[in-house]
Amino acid sequence: MKKLLTLLFLSTALWGNAQIWRFTHSSGTYTPLPTNLPSLVSPGWDDEYIPITLPFNFTIRNITSNQWVLDSWGYISDDSTSETAILAGFVCDLQDLGNLTGTTGISPIRMQTTGTTPNQIVKIEFVNAGFYTGDSTEFANFQIWIYENNTIEYRFGPNSYLSGTNAFDGSTGPIVGIGNDVTNGLDEMYLLDSISASPVMVFLQNATSPLELDDAPANGKIYRFEKTTPANSLSSNEQKTKIYPNPANDFLYISDVQRGDFISLLNMDGQIVWSAQAQQPKVEIPISELPQGLYLLSTNNKWNYRVEKILIQH
């Protein structure tokens, strides 16, 4: 399992950040872009940097621009060299599937703008993308949606993976998330972890390695990232969630949560040891069987993404 070697999960550090992302996931029908759209890449593409111009400015932390770079590894960055900010839609070593099958040009990358200001959406689609370290029968379809209101969606379509696939170059799945700041490495990242059907967003700061999903998202899966307000600017009613006791022994309780909140308990190796979506205002987490030590409790709701350090003592 992936290790979070240098996570700085102190909630005060997270809330002090000027840009926080809220993550939600859902399922829907995958709709391919029109096939008559031109491809952004030539047949046989591999390791390409493609400049793209958005019809509006998009902001990630201190980067505001309509000039971005699409990397054929499955992400968009502000620059092809420094990559200060990135949108990681499906990051792994991708290439034209034709390079493996002998039929060139079967993996176009298309872009389309829909809607009108202030509700425009730029949609970028990888069609039947192959894997550099995969098999010729493996492929993925996915889209990166960039909203004019600075929301991001990653939408996943039909795919094919072999059992025990090496498509992700030794990892279990792709890297998916948002990079607020990757100037000197993984300075500030919001990445998804755990199974793709019900992932959890993890905040990494100055980490030594990224996180990957435990598998690849299924056809119809939608991941949505929205900017949210730092907790210190929320009303007292919105900050009323309580976590107790801490240190904890047999049970950990979370009160005044909202129905639908995503709650996860992780150990310091980044493993999710318990997770659920809240159905009642009070959540009870059994911890008597967990080893003593420090854990990270994350709650993700429509106002903010919150992480607390929890000490378990028996």
Pair 265, 297: CB distance under 8 Å: yes
**pLDDT at residue 301, rounded to an integer:** 60
Give per-residue pLDDT as tens, 175-221: 999 998 887 777 788 889 888 998 888 777 777 788 899 999 999 99
Which is higher by pLDDT, 27 or 234?
27
Task: Tell whether the model's pLDDT for residue 311 goes beyond 70.
Answer: yes
Task: Tell whether the model's pLDDT for residue 231 goes beyond 80.
Answer: no
**pLDDT at residue 236, rounded to an integer:** 38
Length of the chain: 314
Peptide bond into 210 cis (omega under 30): no
Task: Tell whether the model's pLDDT for residue 167 goes beyond 60.
Answer: yes
Which is higher by pLDDT, 105 or 141?
141
CATH 2.60.40.3080 fits 231-312, yes or no: yes
Asked whether the CA dihedral 224, 228, 230, 235 is positive or negative, the reply is negative
Give per-residue pLDDT as tens, 246-271: 999 999 999 888 877 888 888 877 67
**Residue 140: CB atoms within 10 Å:** 27
Q: Where are the domains of the chain?
A: 11-228, 231-312
Q: pTM for the full model?
A: 0.75
d(CA 268, CA 251): 19
**pLDDT at residue 11, rounded to an integer:** 33
Task: Tell whether the model's pLDDT for residue 234 goes beyond 70.
Answer: no
Task: Tell whether the model's pLDDT for residue 121 goes beyond 70.
Answer: yes
Residue with tokens 């990757």: 182
Which is higher by pLDDT, 272 or 82?
272
Give per-residue pLDDT as tens, 286-305: 999 999 998 888 887 655 56
Average pLDDT, the chain: 85
- Percentage, residues of the chain above pLDDT 90: 54
Nearest to 306 by CA among 7, 6, 11: 11
Strand partners, 193: 200
Quote the tokens at residue 210.
């990224």
Strand partners, 57: none
**pLDDT at residue 193, rounded to an integer:** 85
Strands 186-193 and 200-207: antiparallel
- 3-state SS record for 129-180: EEECCCCCCCEEEEEEEEECCCCEEEEEEEEECCCCCCCCCCCCCCEEEEEE
Confidence category of residue 80, pLDDT binned at 50, 70, 90: low
d(CA 195, CA 263): 15
End-to-end CA distance of the chain: 25
Per DSSP, the residues of 116-140 read -TTS-EEEEEEEEEEETTS-TT-EE
**Residue 198: CB atoms within 10 Å:** 13
Pair 243, 252: CB distance under 8 Å: yes
d(CA 71, CA 129): 13
